[in-house]
Amino acid sequence: MDTLKFYYDPKPLVTTSTSPKFYSNGLDYELAQKTPNFMGLYYYPLLRAFVDFPWPTIANINGHCFAGAFCLAAFHDYRVMNPAKGWLCMNELEFDAPLMGPLMSIYVTKFGAAVAQRISLNAERFTAKTALEAGLIHAQGSWPEVDEIVKRIGKYSNRTFYSQMRAGILRDVLKTMDYDNETRILIERRDRLWKYEDDNKPRIGTLLSKL
């Protein structure tokens, strides 16, 4: 994206997938867990790159879009979703993973608290139809609908202050970009508890049997 900023002919940036089934399933959770400060060093900078990108951005969501990919799509200015295939879903609650910093605040800022609750606390799976009704996407469809958006907003690709205005809209989200140390401590505490329970199952079982 840093290279694209210097392209001589500014145009809206469109992201999609070559997979016939998935836009993206999100992050490799196990790798993220094993990599020290993965979010702060790698994922948050990617999200920030979409905030700072000087031209309009469009996510052409051609299939399933889960977890970290859903969040990344939310950082685009516009979203178009395949009506025949795929769900939008933030399913971290299903496997007890935290939603830190911008992974929560982007939904509240862009879609409001009620929809953010459906996304995070319900782990709701949105079809293109329900996503459009909830305001998560701007159109159902694919490249023809993307082209319509490009025709409408492409003229703003050479504007000096486009990214500055975007950053202003997302100012509360940007405040959460720093790695959430409190969440890291909670995760470490939970992992220690789980390890303690695994290491002491026989003793715990004996104590519980006496109650």
pLDDT in tens, 119-153: 999 999 999 999 999 999 999 999 999 999 999 99
50 pLDDT more than 60: yes
Q: Are residues 132 and 96 in the same domain?
A: yes
Residues 12 and 98 in one domain: yes
Same-domain status, 106 and 192: no
- Residues 190, 88 within the same domain: no
Contact between residue 141 and residue 149 where contact means Cβ atoms under 8 Å apart: no
Domain residues for the domain of 188 are 180-211
Confidence of residue 180 (pLDDT cuts 50, 70, 90): low
Query: In whole angstroms, what is the distance from residue 211 CA to residue 157 CA?
Result: 69
Count of the separate structural domains present in the chain: 2
Considering the domain architecture, whether residues 201 and 173 belong to the same structural domain is answered as no
For residue 112, list its beta bridge partners. Answer: none
Q: Are residues 173 and 189 in the same domain?
A: no
pLDDT of residue 55: 95
Q: Let me know whether 138 and 169 are in one domain.
A: yes
Same domain, 94 and 196: no
Provide the pLDDT for residue 184. 66
pTM for the structure as a whole: 0.83
Structure tokens at 35: 């990599």
Residue 197 shares a structural domain with residue 132: no
Q: Using a pLDDT cut of 90, give the percent of the chain over it.
A: 68
- Residues 204 and 103 reside in one and the same domain: no
Tokens of 57: 């951005």
The pLDDT-based confidence of 179 (bands split at 50, 70, 90) is low
